[in-house]
Amino acid sequence: MTARSPLAPRSQPRLPALSGVRLAVCETGIKYKNRPDLMVALLDPGTTIAGVLTRSRTRSAPVDLCAENLKTGSARAIIVNAGNANAFTGRHGIKTVATTVKAAAKAFDCKPDEVFVASTGVIGEPLDPGAIVGAFAALGAEAGPGRWRDAAAAIMTTDTFPKSATATAKIGSRTVTINGIAKGSGMIAPDMATMLSFIFTDAALPPGILQKLLSRAAATSFNAITVDSDTSTSDTVLLCATGARKDRLQNLRSPGDARLKSFTKALNQVMRELAHLVVRDGEGAEKLISITVKGAASEPAARRIGMAIANSPLVKTAIAGEDANWGRIVMAVGKSGEEANRDKLSIWIGGQRVARGGMADPKYREAQITKHMRSREIDIIVDVGVGKSSFTVWTCDLTHRYIEINADYRS
Amino acid sequence: MTARSPLAPRSQPRLPALSGVRLAVCETGIKYKNRPDLMVALLDPGTTIAGVLTRSRTRSAPVDLCAENLKTGSARAIIVNAGNANAFTGRHGIKTVATTVKAAAKAFDCKPDEVFVASTGVIGEPLDPGAIVGAFAALGAEAGPGRWRDAAAAIMTTDTFPKSATATAKIGSRTVTINGIAKGSGMIAPDMATMLSFIFTDAALPPGILQKLLSRAAATSFNAITVDSDTSTSDTVLLCATGARKDRLQNLRSPGDARLKSFTKALNQVMRELAHLVVRDGEGAEKLISITVKGAASEPAARRIGMAIANSPLVKTAIAGEDANWGRIVMAVGKSGEEANRDKLSIWIGGQRVARGGMADPKYREAQITKHMRSREIDIIVDVGVGKSSFTVWTCDLTHRYIEINADYRS
């Protein structure tokens, strides 16, 4: 295990037990030694589920399975292994998933289409289901409500710290809880940016509404981050609602229903917190970078400009070098292909305007920005001067450590 | 000056004098000390010109000027300075270009719309034209036909070696020559991938035909390379035909005319050679990587898949680490967004098939590939299994040296 990221939070929140969810972990020895690498989440009958999956054209067999089973909107078990992604493993990989699902349905007394599988780790190596299904009996017996910390740790690969977040919300007169865990460090890019995240609530919500709430929250959290522009074959976010905290909501038809306001806010908060934790654990990351693009022609345009800046190796290395090299930000705006007015472009770093009206701000003093560039959290705002839309994305810097991790590690 | 790239060619070709082109260089001291940083190419009356320019939305004032003057199709002088890109310099930058053009027209006795300007170097710093225009009288007096080596050296910025190429061709009964120089090392990406290249021929060709020949050749040379995915604000390729070697071609209407076959081939060769030299001098490059995508739905699709692989930090760092981590190639194919059949995908590295039918090739032995991974030139072929189109792109690996260069250097 490599050293904990310098951007890791000081402490991990303590997630409360969540009625309707039981968790268990164990060591399979498939790739890692002396650490849990298999996690199961067992869900009470009646649990609804929604998901957001990678848009990769070479997605893994487990992602295919999730896409298929999400159609039912119902979940009883989630099986997650770390160390082998079961991606690009052909017929063998499909069979491994089928065997896992069949055994899980039997062990956990549910239907096969209520079982979800996620795998993360090396691509292209066959994954034998033996060690996984062999553990189900013990996992089923051990599963308990309070093992969130173990669950978050068991799904890690190159992560340097476990990632979890929690919030409460009001639905009607009931207080409901949202607990989430995530993993991800490299191969983190737009279009489902995290590798894996599992979020649970004891609220009672129909799968259609759940899906819309999840997709919307993903757009400004997991889909607004990038570490290295590389989209994983295995990205999976699942949101489960156990319904243990039954509310009295009648005729809930739209995710925009005022009665869901508190829940939506809490869900957005949990997902954004998890997404930021993934960036904070970006491979080699030493700085968390927030990039807000405003004055864009549309929100998608603002997002694409933001991502062009966030994915630029020249911008990321300049920030690693603590150099306020805003010329590279201008370059990245230009390469995005989106509408921008070169002669109205303004840029702020750490709240100080460095460029305006298409050239360096004459009042800008580099010494004042140097202090900001030396801090752990870098704040960039770019006004592209053509419209009124804005979007914020988050990324990390590109350091020697990223090269070390990825030139030496077969992941 | 940093050490010469390990991928640099052993020797530089000796370019012959080219009738109708005179070159001169000098030191302005604008940024660099004790090295020439200003180059002028003076062209005989009747010279035609074509150009391919950056598609950046924040392109520089000199690129704006080139776009405008290319409309006339006629050229008498090209002025190039290194060290300051005169990009994102607002009204001041536009004025600098206007002053330069006016002074050049006077000094070199031509019309202002026959003057072309290219600047490369730091973005966002005002460029004073004084030192440039002040040198014109001396440059005009010194300009001679044989100074190709000096010209190639004067336009360098972070380049570690000068880049030039030459070829001859037959047009009718005449033998014509093509000489080209280029510079570029970082901020090298698709959509006009080099920063600057100037190509000259003594052939007589109308500007319309010249433009089509240049655009076609650029598609598979400069626009088929990437170092770091970052598109420059200043990318400029100009092709000048002095017409000194007058042919007898009548009614030349199409670039596909059989009488241009030899010339087209030679032009493609020179431009591809220059493009490869830019990749060989990619910042921190230790390996030249060729990526051929075949079995794609269309040629643009094949190019986009190739560029997704070539720009993937995870693929580039794996190659830097001499690791045949083809799982990352699968990932990059998937993230391209282009059609690919996961279960028919095949991958060859160094001529050996490592994956086929959507999984690892059972006959693949990693030890056999290790030797290829240790060599300077890495060859990757990917068949995406959906169609018949193919495209080849070139890139370099991503090393510690790239981080060193870009985290420390304000370019």
pLDDT of residue A410: 53
Confirm or reject contact between B191 and chain A (CB < 8 A).
Answer: yes
Active-site pick, B47, B48, B158, B194? B194
Q: What is the CATH number of the domain that holds B322?
A: 3.10.20.340
Q: Where do we find the tokens 């390990």?
A: B6
Query: Searching chain B, which residue's CA lies closest to the CA of residue A283?
Result: B314
Is B145 within 8 Å of B21 (Cβ atoms)?
yes
State the Cα–Cα distance between residues A235 and A233, nearest whole angstrom: 6
Q: How far apart are CA B65 and CA B86, in angstroms?
A: 12
Nearest-5° angle of CA B345, CA B347, CA B352? Answer: 145
Q: Tell me: do B256 and B299 sit in the same domain.
A: no
Which pLDDT tens digit goes with each residue over A20-66? 999 999 999 998 899 999 999 999 999 999 988 888 888 889 999 99
- pLDDT by residue (tens digit) across B259-278? 899 999 999 998 888 888 88
The model's pLDDT over B232-244, given as tens digits with 9 standing for 90+, comes to 777 777 888 888 8
Task: Assign 3-state DSSP to chain B and report helix, strand, coil percentages, each to 5.
Answer: 35, 25, 40
**Is A123 close to B331, i.e. CB distance below 8 A?**
yes
Residue A233 bears catalytic tag? no
Q: What is the pLDDT of residue B348?
A: 96
Summary mean pLDDT of chain A: 88
Same-domain status, A264 and A367: no
Does the global pTM surpass 0.80?
A: yes
Mean pLDDT of A265-275: 89
Task: Give a yes or no: residue A107 inside a domain.
Answer: yes
Beta carbons within 10 angstroms of residue B251's beta carbon:
6
Test mutation, A233, A287, A331, chain B, max B CBs within 10 A: A331
CA distances (Å), origin A255, targets A191, A212, A217, A263: 22, 6, 11, 10
- Separation in Å, CA of A283 to nearest CA in chain B: 11
Residues of A in contact with B357 (CB under 8 A): 90
Say yes or no to pLDDT of B192 above 50.
no
Residue B228 above 80 pLDDT?
Answer: no
Task: Write out chain A residues lying below 8 Å of B92, CB-based.
Answer: 359
Decide if pLDDT at A1 tops 60: no
**Residues B130 and B205 reside in one and the same domain:** yes
Taking the C-alpha atoms of residue A380 and residue A308, their distance in angstroms, rounded to an integer, is 13
Strand-pair category, A196-203 with A174-183: antiparallel
Query: Which residues does B241 contact at the CB level (< 8 Å), separation at least 6?
Result: B47, B48, B49, B200, B201, B202, B203, B204, B205, B210
Q: In this structure, is residue B5 part of a structural domain?
A: no
Residues A244 and A293 in one domain: no
Mean pLDDT of chain B: 88
Measured CA to CA, the distance from residue A169 to residue A247 in angstroms comes to 12
Q: Which of B373, B177, B182 is nearest to B289 (CA)?
A: B373
Residue carrying structure tokens 């017409």 = B243
CA distance A379 to A373: 9
Q: Check A194, A201, A231, A399 and give the catalytic one.
A: A194
Q: Same domain, yes or no, for A34 and A108?
A: yes
Residues 390-409 of B with CB under 8 A from A: 398-400, 402-404, 406-408
Is the residue at A160 inside a domain? yes
Q: What is the bridge-based pairing of β-strands B288-296 and B389-396?
A: antiparallel
Domain end point (choices A250, A280, A310):
A280
Distance from CA of B384 to the nearest CA of A (A): 10
B302 touches chain A (CB under 8 A): no
For A118-135, what is the mean pLDDT?
Answer: 92
Q: How far is CA A394 from CA A117, A259, A307, B280, in A?
A: 28, 30, 9, 33
Q: How many A×B Cβ pairs under 8 Å?
A: 218
Which one of B57, B229, B342 has the shortest CB-CB distance to A313?
A: B229
Kindly report the three-state secondary structure assignment for every residue of A53-118: ECCCCCCCHHHHHHHHHHHHCECCEEEEEEEECCCCCHHHHHHHHHHHHHHHHHHCCCCHHHEEEE
Buried b (16+ CB within 10 A) or exposed e, B387-398: bebbbbbbbbbb
A328 reaches B (C-beta below 8 A): yes
Nearest to A218 by CA among A50, A58, A81, A79: A50
Partners of residue B402 in chain A, C-beta under 8 Å: 313, 317, 403
What is the pLDDT at residue B303? 92
Hey, of B403, B404, B405, B408, which one would you mutate to test binding to chain A, going by the most A CBs within 10 A of its CB? B403
- Distances in Å between the alpha carbon of A265 and those of A17, B247, B375? 21, 74, 54
Is B57 in the A-facing interface, judged by CB distances under 8 Å? yes
Q: Are residues A320 and B231, on separate chains, in Cβ contact within 8 Å?
A: no
**B406·A334 Cβ contact <8 A:** no
> Does residue A150 lie in a domain region?
yes
Complex-level ipTM beyond the 0.85 threshold: no
For residues B361 and B354, the answer to whether their CB atoms sit within 8 Å is yes
For residues B265 and B344, state if they share a domain: no
Q: What is the CATH number of the domain that holds A44?
A: 3.60.70.12
* Contacts for B98 with CB less than 8 Å, ≥ 6 apart: none
Q: In what order do the strands lie in the sheet with A288-296?
A: A359-360, A352-356, A346-349, A377-383, A288-296, A389-396
Q: Which domain holds residue A225?
A: 21-280
Q: How confident is the model at residue B373 (pLDDT cuts 50, 70, 90)?
A: very high
Assess if residue B343 is contained within a domain.
yes
| Owner of token pair 């498939």 | A30
Residue A7 lies in a domain: no
Looking at residue A408, its pLDDT comes to 67
Contact between A229 and B312 using a beta-carbon 8 Å cutoff = yes
On whether residue A16 sits in a domain, the answer given is no
Region B150-173 average pLDDT: 89
B330: nearest CB among A58, A402, A403: A58
Q: With bands split at pLDDT 50, 70 and 90, how would you rate the model's confidence at A405?
A: confident
Report how many domains make up chain B: 2
Reported as type and span, the H/E element at residue B277 is helix B261-280
C-alpha–C-alpha distance, residues B76 and B354, integer Å: 54
User: Is A304 inside any structural domain?
Assistant: yes
Residues 79-138 of B with CB under 8 A from A: 85, 87-93, 122-126
Shared domain check, A294 and A225: no
Q: Which of B236, B258, B280 is the last residue of a domain?
A: B280
Is there a single domain that holds both residue B187 and residue B46?
yes
Cα B88 from Cα B187, distance rounded (Å): 16
Question: Does A320 reach chain B within 8 Å, measured CB to CB?
Answer: yes
Give B34-55 pLDDT, tens digit per residue.
Answer: 999 999 999 999 999 998 888 8
Same domain, yes or no, for B305 and B268? no
Identify whether residues A276 and A301 lie together within a single domain: no
Domain boundary among B247, B280, B313: B280
Say which residues have a Cβ less than 8 Å from residue B347's Cβ, sequence separation at least 6: B326, B329, B330, B353, B354, B355, B356, B380, B381, B382, B383
- Quick one: angle between helices B326-335 and B313-320, nearest 10? 160
Same domain, A299 and A255: no
Same domain, B265 and B313: no
Our CA dihedral for A134, A140, A142, A143, rounded to 10 degrees, sits at 130
Q: Do A359 and B89 touch (CB under 8 A)?
A: yes
Q: What is the structure's pLDDT at A248?
A: 59
Distance from C-alpha of A216 to C-alpha of A193, rounded to nearest angstrom: 14
Dist CA B338 CA A55 (whole Å): 11
